Homo-oligomer: A and B are copies of this chain.
Amino acid sequence: MPGLRATPFLDATDGDAIVLTDQQRADLAHIGTRLRVPRRTLIYEQESEARWIYAIVDGVVKSYHALPSGKRSVAAFLFPRDLFGLAKSGRYVNSTQSVTPATLYRFPIGDLAVLLKQRGDLQFKFLLKVTHELREAQRRAILINRRDAAGRLAMFVDFMAERANHSALRGLTVTLPMSRSDIAAFVGLSPASVSRAIASLALRGLAVFDGRHHVRILDPAGLKKLVAAV
């Protein structure tokens, strides 16, 4: 059962607000296929022919772009109820790989286009979703401009805290399934700087890392302040 996560541009409700009707779910399920993939599975590669749009049911996926220099930039981490499969002129613009074992729905891009044109209300929900993503991408582009490593990392931790338990920052321990280098490639720092930034957050008493994949947020207010200090 596919779903979508986004804040509508119109209504004043916020949080995860897009709910598909049973009919819409059925329509989607009809053209889609469900599949499970283990972690570190390459789902598709950039420049390859774009045949499907994917929806995440469960798990985490990263979307990354290989640059001419050989570096990899992580464009986005994707979570349950996110869509992916962004294409341009029939080719995917990024590569995607599962970070954890994941359950996905996959829709043939042509069938989906036909369905959306027929069902104006369903298409509208997709429009909301893409608009939501656009907003997030812009926000990230703005935040990423800051130079200081600690601020960038704080931003990332905040970002993860908001998705994981969307009871923003109250579940004080957040899981970060991805590697340090993935985080570095996402926030635009070197892995070394990420490591130092982690130490810096601990030093300031904002958050401590417990093993590779867990952060405990000690001072939510202080963290938010650092995030906003742009």
Q: Write the residues of chain A forming the contact surface with B, with a CB cutoff of 8 angstroms.
A: 7-14, 50, 65, 67-69, 71, 73, 75-76, 86-90, 93-94, 109-110, 113, 116-121, 123-124, 126-127, 130-131, 133-135, 137-142, 144-145, 188, 228-230
Q: Is the CB of B89 within 8 A of A8?
A: yes
| B residues near A75, Cβ cutoff 8 Å | 138, 141-142
Q: Is the CB of A135 within 8 A of B10?
A: no
Q: Is the CB of B90 within 8 A of A230?
A: no
| B residues near A65, Cβ cutoff 8 Å | 142
Q: How far is the CA of A11 from the CA of B90 in the complex (A)?
A: 6
Task: Give the shortest distance, in Å, between A51 (CB) and chain B (any CB).
Answer: 11
Task: Say yes or no: A90-B12 contact (C-beta < 8 A), given A75-B142, A144-B144.
Answer: yes
Task: Give the shortest distance, in Å, between A118 (CB) and chain B (any CB).
Answer: 6
Copies per assembly: 2
- Interface residue SS majority, chain A: mixed
Task: Say yes or no: A118-B120 contact (C-beta < 8 A), given A8-B89, A110-B10, A134-B134.
Answer: yes
Q: Is the CB of A9 within 8 A of B86?
A: yes
Contact with A68, one of B126, B133, B139, B230 (Cβ below 8 angstroms):
B230
Closest to A86 in B: B135
Task: Give the shortest distance, in Å, between A18 (CB) and chain B (any CB).
Answer: 13
Closest to A188 in B: B145
Q: Can you list 29 contacts pairing A with B, beta carbon distance less than 8 Å?
A: A9-B86, A10-B87, A10-B89, A10-B109, A11-B90, A12-B90, A13-B89, A14-B89, A67-B142, A67-B230, A68-B230, A73-B230, A75-B138, A75-B142, A86-B131, A86-B138, A88-B135, A116-B124, A117-B120, A117-B121, A117-B124, A118-B120, A120-B123, A123-B123, A123-B124, A127-B127, A130-B130, A134-B137, A144-B144
| B residues near A126, Cβ cutoff 8 Å | 127
Q: How far is the CA of A8 from the CA of B8 in the complex (A)?
A: 23
